[in-house]
Structure 1
Amino acid sequence: MTALTTTASFPEPKETSEKEVIQALEGQIAAWNAGDLEAAMAFYWNSPDILWINKTGLEKGYQEVLDMFRQDFTDSSHMGQYSYEPLHIEQITPEVVFFVIRWKILLRGKRLMGGVSSQLWKKPAGRWVITCEHAS
């Protein structure tokens, strides 16, 4: 299970869309922690227009993002356990939510990676997916 730590600075989500996005992120993290990269990737927008941004630059396109993850996490033994802390959530429209989290991945009890991620979630086909993510 994720380490969802609601702090005093993070109010309880008010909007249904915000609650649904939190549930979607929880589903993605459950798939990740089960070692199922394909299921975790299902929470990203399967479109050539998806954006992934990090310190090394930008990837555009679902296949490119998937290939990047496959290169970094060659199998489930390299995926580790993902946890997060919500920092900010904001419903922009009923079908667009901006979500900022602090995240970390532990592998064999040691921090593999972590940082802050800002995610733009949209509901293009009736299902919440990440359409843009900046992880640092």
Structure 2
Amino acid sequence: MKTILTVLSVFLCLALNAQNKDEQAIRNTLAQQTVEWNKGNIDAFMKGYWNNDSLMFVGKSGVTYGYKRTLENYKKNYPDAANMGRLTFNILKVQPIAADTYFVLGKWALARQVGDVSGHYTLLFKKINGKWLIVVDHSS
């Protein structure tokens, strides 16, 4: 019985360690996106997203599919530093829902010369080729 408990404890520790590493990688991706946004670099900001036609972005204008269209929309809606402002993310929840999938809930805010805006986001991160990427973004 003691051997079984020891083995279970080891597996639990390994699983929690892997989960912590995955969560930290996701938090690092969001932190890097914040840095790139605040430098005015939308192309680098987009590296947190899945570069695929199946990427889904849901915003106030509805659903957009595809990395390229999402990038184009960001550049159209945030054409300069005054519109981009300074981004902050407040992560409220990072929760695994499968071994390769995490759900993230948070708040975003832009402090801008043209007027501050803020809202909430839900993200679906998926581990693709060893990297955690946003495959679904619902921002409001």
* Same-fold status (TM-score > 0.5): yes
Alignment-mate amino acid for residue 135 of structure 2: T
Computed over aligned residues only, the root mean square deviation of the Cα atoms, in angstroms, reads 1.5
Distance 2:98 2:65 in 1: 24
Shift in alpha-carbon separation, 1:74–1:110, aligned structure 2, 3 A = closer
Higher relative contact order (CA 8 A, sep 6+): 1
Q: 2:74 aligned to 69, 75, 79, which one?
A: 69
Measured after TM superposition, the shift of residue 109 of structure 1 is: 8.6
Distance 1:64 1:108 in 2: 26
Residue 103 of structure 1 aligns to a residue whose secondary structure is: strand
Is it true that 1:30 corresponds to 2:31 in the alignment?
A: no
Distance 1:92 1:121 in 2: 10
Question: What residue number does 2:134 align with?
Answer: 130
Gaps of 5+ in 1: 1-13
Contact 2:101–2:127 (Cα < 8 Å) also in 1: yes
Contact 2:85–2:113 (Cα < 8 Å) also in 1: yes
Normalised to the residue count of structure 1, the TM-score between the two structures is 0.83
Distance 2:113 2:81 in 1: 12
Q: 2:25 aligned to 14, 17, 20, which one?
A: 20
Gaps of 5+ in 2: 1-18
Normalised to the residue count of structure 2, the TM-score between the two structures is 0.81
Q: After superposition, give the CA deviation of every residue in 1:60-112 in whole Å (9 maximum; x if it has no partner).
A: 0111101111110113342110002111110122321110011101113941x
Distance 1:35 1:80 in 2: 9
Distance 1:47 1:24 in 2: 18
**Which protein shows a greater Rg?**
2
Alignment-mate amino acid for residue 59 of structure 2: N
Alignment-mate amino acid for residue 30 of structure 1: V
What's the % identity of the aligned pairs?
26
Residue 49 of structure 2 aligns to a residue whose secondary structure is: coil
